[in-house]
Amino acid sequence: MVRFTPPVTLRLSQGEVLAWNQAAALVRVVSGQVWITRRNDLIDHFLHHGQCFELRRSHGTLIQAEQDVWLRFERDGSLLGGWLSSRWRRLTGRATQAATVAG
């Protein structure tokens, strides 16, 4: 079993299966298509380019590449937080600046 710490991008070949038994994370399909199934979940999930899925710890999650695929794994919440932050900067028209406290 290979263990890694997100963020990381992995390539799976068609038919290859990845068993997820690590900390919670978000997976984004960079290219290709995957099938995701979780223990005790009645719904199977098929993700295509650009779609994301929340991976939970110890849910017996399997990810299978339906075709050659690139997957991006992010720490749980960092993907959404980064997206919200970039949207906020676009809406306000400026970069977020750090606050300074007079001492």
Tens digit of each residue's pLDDT (9 = 90 or more) over 33-77: 999 999 888 999 999 999 999 988 766 899 999 999 999 999 865
Instruction: Please tell me the pTM assigned to this model.
Output: 0.68
Q: Are 28 and 71 in contact (CB under 8 A)?
A: yes
Residue 46 dihedral angles phi and psi, to the nearest 5°:
-115, 120
If one compares 101 and 48, the residue with the highest pLDDT of the two is: 48
Mean pLDDT of all residues in 82-93 = 61
Q: Where are the domains of the chain?
A: 8-91
Q: Which are the contacts of 57, defined by CB distance < 8 A and separation ≥ 6?
A: 21, 22, 23, 24
Lowest mean pLDDT among 15-24, 68-77, 84-93: 84-93
Domain covering 8-91, topology:
Jelly Rolls (2.60.120)
Q: What is the DSSP letter of 49?
A: T
